[in-house]
Amino acid sequence: MAKVLVLRTAGVNCDEETAHAFRLAGGVVSVLHVGSLLRGEERLEEFDVLAIPGGFSYGDDLGAGTVLANQLRTRLAGDLHDFVDEGKLVIGICNGFQVLVRLGILPGWEGDKAASLIENVSGKFEDRWIDLRVETDQCPFLDCKGEYGAPCPRYLRAPVAHREGRFFLRDPDLGGRIERVVVFGHPTLSREVTALLSDPAVEVIALRGPGEPLGLNGATRSVDAVAVAVDGDSPEVVDAERAWLGAWMRASRAAAVDLSPPAPDVDALSSAVPQERLGAISAELDAVRAPVDRNLLVDAVWRATWPHDRLVFGSSRLVRVADAVLPGKKVTVHANRGLAGIDGTVATATGVAIASQSAGAHGVTRVLLGDLALLHDAGGLLVAIGEAEPRIQIIVGNDGGGTIFDGLEVAATADAEAADRVLYTPHGVDLGRLASAYGWTHTRVTTRAALDQALTTPAAARQVIEVPLAR
């Protein structure tokens, strides 16, 4: 019989009903608090089904399902990856569905958050029955000609009760309303933007630059200049523009990911009840010792960087993670484009640091890149004798190779051994010795607390901060 984990936490109020339904289906059910997984008292791998029930997890104070999703993402990302990749079943009901979307498991598990949920069109809580059209015959929870031979239903009658239930990326009132896009220079590497620019229904106007004219969707118009017409005499146009901008800003806030560590439980830390006090101390130690994953890495670098600093992104997997989870901030960000790929990233960052720090200007230049990007430009670590010593931190996520290729389409069809050798390019380079050979200090960190300390207390002008990451 299948072992089912029904996950509960503060605010979840449908765990017993969910457990009862799985018991009726013949499952062996355990109802566990998320803390038992976070503390390692229970292991996700011991179960066959993960069910996240409905309710209002943590009061939905930061958005529906956001806090629980952040807990799972920052503390159990590897276990969740393995669980899904092994073909085990995951179901999210009501608030649990919102958690799965904010985790990035839905609408399709790709390891990164690909969609979000925003407010209902009405702007208020909706509580009613709706008809759902079933668009797949592969859902095991509907049986769909499975063990009991039941055909997949065409429609389901289901109750909804939520305020945040609309898909952001597929919302016709947002992305679906875009008719024209103006491109200045080269378009971003963001997959969302790339998909938009590839849509033949969207008019793409590219401001002509050096080189060949851009042909982004087969119907791109290249122009030498763009003028924006402002109709200040039309209140209707002004109101429509404000409403359009407001909708995107609300959607952006809804899609934001809060990766900040949980605030200390001051009351519990000062409690006279030993168990409460020890529990709060244990939670604080867990937060300090939390291992660094890609989300936490980009978040820590972003938080440590201020307007007087500069940030350089390498063409590594980390820039895609940053694109998915980071909020807006007034920071100057640089990246190489064109055919450079990962070559020359360190040299570029060094040049940015020297130029931005001339004439006594303050600030630190940070470059966030992967291990292969660093190795491909190891010569850029050389600062010749007599040259200015820039204040620069190279933060390298070391996952032993080029894991960015694991998420590309070719990885699903190529021979695994050949893909590892040609694309992933495994290595065993000692980055500490490499940094020392060029006169850089080297720090290896594995926890969020150690990373924050390394980023904010520079020990030397030139630093390499190595962060080991799982593949």
Q: How confident is the model at residue 129 (pLDDT cuts 50, 70, 90)?
A: confident
Q: How confident is the model at residue 111 (pLDDT cuts 50, 70, 90)?
A: very low
CATH 3.40.50.880 applies to domain 3-167: yes
Cα separation, 155 vs 133, in Å, equals 5
Nearest to 427 by CA among 359, 360, 357, 378: 378
pLDDT of residue 74: 74
- 135 compared with 366, residue with greater pLDDT: 366
Q: How confident is the model at residue 252 (pLDDT cuts 50, 70, 90)?
A: confident
For the chain, the structural domain boundaries read 3-167, 175-255, 294-468
The answer, yes or no, to whether residue 170 has pLDDT greater than 60, is no
Q: CATH code for 294-468?
A: 3.40.50.970
**DSSP secondary structure string, 271-301?**
-SSHHHHHHHHHHHHHHHTPBP-HHHHHHHH
pLDDT of residue 61: 63
Give the number of other CB atoms < 10 A from CB of residue 387. 10
pLDDT of residue 122: 60
Q: How confident is the model at residue 168 (pLDDT cuts 50, 70, 90)?
A: low
Strands 126-133 and 155-162 come out as antiparallel
pTM exceeds 0.75 = no
Q: What is the mean pLDDT of residues 423-452?
A: 92
Cα separation, 181 vs 101, in Å, equals 28
Q: What is the mean pLDDT of residues 153-169?
A: 73
Q: What is the mean pLDDT of residues 392-414?
A: 82
Q: What is the mean pLDDT of residues 309-327?
A: 87
Cα separation, 254 vs 132, in Å, equals 24
Quick one: what percent of the chain has pLDDT higher than 70?
Answer: 83
Look at 17-21, 326-330, 367-371 and tell me which has the smallest mean pLDDT: 326-330
Same fold, 3-167 and 294-468: yes
